Structure 1
Amino acid sequence: MRTLLLGGAGFIGLHLARRLLADGHAVTIVDDFSRGRRDADLEGMALDVRHADLTDPRSYLELEHGWDQIYMLAAVVGVRNVERDPSRVLRVNTLALMHLLGWIERDAPLFFASTSEAYAGGVTAGLVPVPTPESVPLVIQDVASPRFSYAISKLHGEAAVLHGAHAVVGRFHNVYGPRMGTAHVIPELSLRAMRGENPFTLYGGEQSRAFCYVDDAVEAMVRLMATPEAFGRIVHIGDDTEETNIADLAKLVLRVAGEDPLIDPVPAPAGSVARRCPDISLLRRLTGFEPRIGLEEGVRRTFDWYRQASAVLEV
């Protein structure tokens, strides 16, 4: 298959590209490299890599048609980026997608990467259950809040692709693993443990998350794109088998690191969701998916990668 990954040089994109190559796909990546990196991992793969600004419609006009699959992963993500420049989040995420929809062939299978942030406002307001199915109401508590700009951009994207393309929407839930940057909880805990931080500051230890290792998330994506019944649907992607609180996660990371510091508990960042866990019943029913990488194994794999790469990482 000829497969196009838009935003494919980033975290999930690179792992997906590796899997698709192993499955025999001819893979083309398009990225502006504002977040994705031309590192050894990317350069060592047999890919067609193109540099383009997907907010410029001319970038799509330079792309050929005839793709067997298209994955739309390009977006401004990350809480720090979102809170620092919400207008950029809304502009980039919206324009890149709308130009894609103006260019894409109507019957080309499209995967659109969305997020659990789409319903985070409902969780905070106590309006939706946890574990959370796809059918819950979507709530934006304050459209002027910078933190909600990412959710708003993804809500718009979900509606746009479901009305304007042959698409499946995958809502990612706390996907983690090697090469995801440093501004995320598991890499951040890992890097601070490596530095021997003592006392060890623990933010929001009482909060809980259900983390999904990136290889499992990629497996879910590949299965969804091979499942005709998934198209026209929103499907949660995650791992509901090992929900953990952040305090226990920190203990796991510190144990993997071989560190035993004093713990300094502090409140979670303002606006952070107290609990997040997907109901992946629909994903299971459609594809037979089951998570395979347990939390401890996934944390060890991630920690080992960051330990080897820490000398060259950029924040």
Structure 2
Amino acid sequence: MRALLLGGAGFIGLHLARRLLADGHSVTIADDFSRGRHDFTDFTDIRSCDLTDPASYADLDPAGWDHVYLLAAVVGVRNVEADPSRVLRVNSLVALHLLDWIRPGQRLFFASTSEAYAGGVSTGLVPVPTAEDVPLVIEQVAAPRFSYAISKTFGEAAVLHSKASAVVGRFHNVYGARMGVDHVIPELSLRAMRGEDPFVLYGADQSRAFCHVDDAVEAMVRLMASPYEGVVHIGNPEETNIGDLAKLILRIAGADPAVREVPAPAGSVARRCPDISLLREVTGFVPRVGLEDGVARTFAWYREHVFQEVS
């Protein structure tokens, strides 16, 4: 099987690429490498390109791949709030140019987000755990944080109304090695390694359901091997609050600081947890990596590869 990963140098993309390669498939990575370069010595087909430019697709023959994964996007709360216009432009253009290029019936995975539910959960219109068929709500179209959800909701509609055979995966708090430092698990881990005391904790009473990247990749591979078309959650329904997550990370770090709880940042949804019944029905998927194991593995990777660089 031949796979094209648009945005394959990013966090989930790199893990997916290595999984596909290990399974014996041919993998092509196309990326602008805006999030940096990793070790790609095990890949032979890497294309450096700007996927917002339609000319970048000129050298990509759509007949050359069996599966196409659209993972390229501007992500991360800090990036989204700093430049929402860029988020909307990049994420929308990449989707539209891809859909002008792709062949009818070609198998396509579109990476979406649980942020699509933030407005509905905050207004009390959407239950938690959340199923795929609930209404999507944008509380305030001018709020920078909603630009990401808007861009992904637009992308979902574009691919689902396209000529491709598309599956839309709404990721729920995927974490693991190489995800950068601007996410809650690596951020708390690095602060614990530095021995911060007092340890400031934002939104301790908020809850999330974290999914290890190995499980997310397994779900993606299974979905693309299935005939399913439409929206489906990719996540782990094992829910925890941020206070308990911090306790776990501090225990792994061997740290016992005074914890000072402060309110969560404005716009942060209080609770997020997926109902993955549809994913189980379609693929038989069951998460294998528990939170304690996954956090310990992630902590160890950041201690070995990142801590010395940022400390």
| Letter of the structure 2 residue corresponding to residue 106 of structure 1 | P
Contact kept, 8 Å, 1:26 with 1:47, in 2: the verdict is no
1:18-49 CA-to-partner distances (Å, cap 9, x unmatched) read 110011111000000112x3223xx2323411
Task: Give the 3-state SS of the residue equivalent to 2:218 in structure 1.
Answer: helix
How many residues matched? 309
Hey, what's the Cα distance between the residues in 2 that align with 1:14 and 1:155? 24
Within 5 Å, give how 1:56-95 maps onto structure 2: 56-66=53-63, 67-95=65-93
Task: Give the 3-state SS of the residue equivalent to 2:46 in structure 1.
Answer: strand
> Are positions 1:301 and 2:297 aligned together?
yes
Contact kept, 8 Å, 1:110 with 1:168, in 2: the verdict is yes
Hey, what's the Cα distance between the residues in 2 that align with 1:29 and 1:237? 22
Hey, what's the Cα distance between the residues in 1 that align with 2:56 and 2:75? 21
| Letter of the structure 2 residue corresponding to residue 23 of structure 1 | D
| Letter of the structure 2 residue corresponding to residue 255 of structure 1 | R
Contact kept, 8 Å, 1:122 with 1:139, in 2: the verdict is yes
CA-CA distance at 1:204 after TM superposition: 0.3
Task: Give the 3-state SS of the residue equivalent to 1:192 in structure 2.
Answer: helix
Hey, what's the Cα distance between the residues in 2 that align with 1:38 and 1:148? 28
The equivalent of 1:49 in structure 2 is 46
The equivalent of 1:181 in structure 2 is 180
Contact kept, 8 Å, 1:212 with 1:239, in 2: the verdict is yes
Contact kept, 8 Å, 1:29 with 1:47, in 2: the verdict is no
Contact kept, 8 Å, 1:207 with 1:275, in 2: the verdict is yes
Task: Give the 3-state SS of the residue equivalent to 1:143 in structure 2.
Answer: coil
CA-CA distance at 1:311 after TM superposition: 4.7
Hey, what's the Cα distance between the residues in 2 that align with 1:152 and 1:268? 22
Task: Give the 3-state SS of the residue equivalent to 1:275 in structure 2.
Answer: coil
Moved more, 302-311 or 272-281: 302-311
| Letter of the structure 2 residue corresponding to residue 13 of structure 1 | G
Within 5 Å, give how 1:105-116 maps onto structure 2: 105-116=103-114
The equivalent of 2:265 in structure 1 is 269
Hey, what's the Cα distance between the residues in 2 that align with 1:312 and 1:247? 26
Hey, what's the Cα distance between the residues in 2 that align with 1:277 and 1:172? 11
CA-CA distance at 1:291 after TM superposition: 0.2
The equivalent of 2:284 in structure 1 is 288
Hey, what's the Cα distance between the residues in 2 that align with 1:236 and 1:140? 19
Instruction: Point out where structure 1 has 5 or more consecutive residues left out of the alignment.
Output: none
Task: Give the 3-state SS of the residue equivalent to 1:9 in structure 2.
Answer: coil
Flag as ranges the 4+ runs of structure 1 deviating above 3 A. 311-315
> Are positions 1:32 and 2:28 aligned together?
no
Contact kept, 8 Å, 2:174 with 2:235, in 1: the verdict is yes
Task: Give the 3-state SS of the residue equivalent to 2:62 in structure 1.
Answer: coil
Hey, what's the Cα distance between the residues in 2 that align with 1:313 and 1:167? 40
Contact kept, 8 Å, 2:190 with 2:307, in 1: the verdict is no
Moved more, 295-304 or 55-64: 55-64
| Letter of the structure 2 residue corresponding to residue 12 of structure 1 | I
CA-CA distance at 1:162 after TM superposition: 0.4
Task: Give the 3-state SS of the residue equivalent to 1:105 in structure 2.
Answer: coil
1:286-308 CA-to-partner distances (Å, cap 9, x unmatched) read 00000000000000000000001
The counterpart of 1:257, out of the listed 238, 253, 260, is 253
The counterpart of 1:141, out of the listed 139, 142, 147, is 139
Contact kept, 8 Å, 2:111 with 2:168, in 1: the verdict is yes
The equivalent of 1:15 in structure 2 is 15
* Identity among equivalent pairs (%): 73
Hey, what's the Cα distance between the residues in 1 that align with 2:309 and 2:10? 14
Hey, what's the Cα distance between the residues in 1 that align with 2:9 and 2:308? 17
Contact kept, 8 Å, 1:181 with 1:314, in 2: the verdict is no
1:160-184 CA-to-partner distances (Å, cap 9, x unmatched) read 0000121000000000000000000
| Letter of the structure 1 residue corresponding to residue 42 of structure 2 | M
| Letter of the structure 1 residue corresponding to residue 247 of structure 2 | K
Hey, what's the Cα distance between the residues in 2 that align with 1:312 and 1:11? 20
The equivalent of 1:236 in structure 2 is 233
Task: Give the 3-state SS of the residue equivalent to 1:4 in structure 2.
Answer: strand
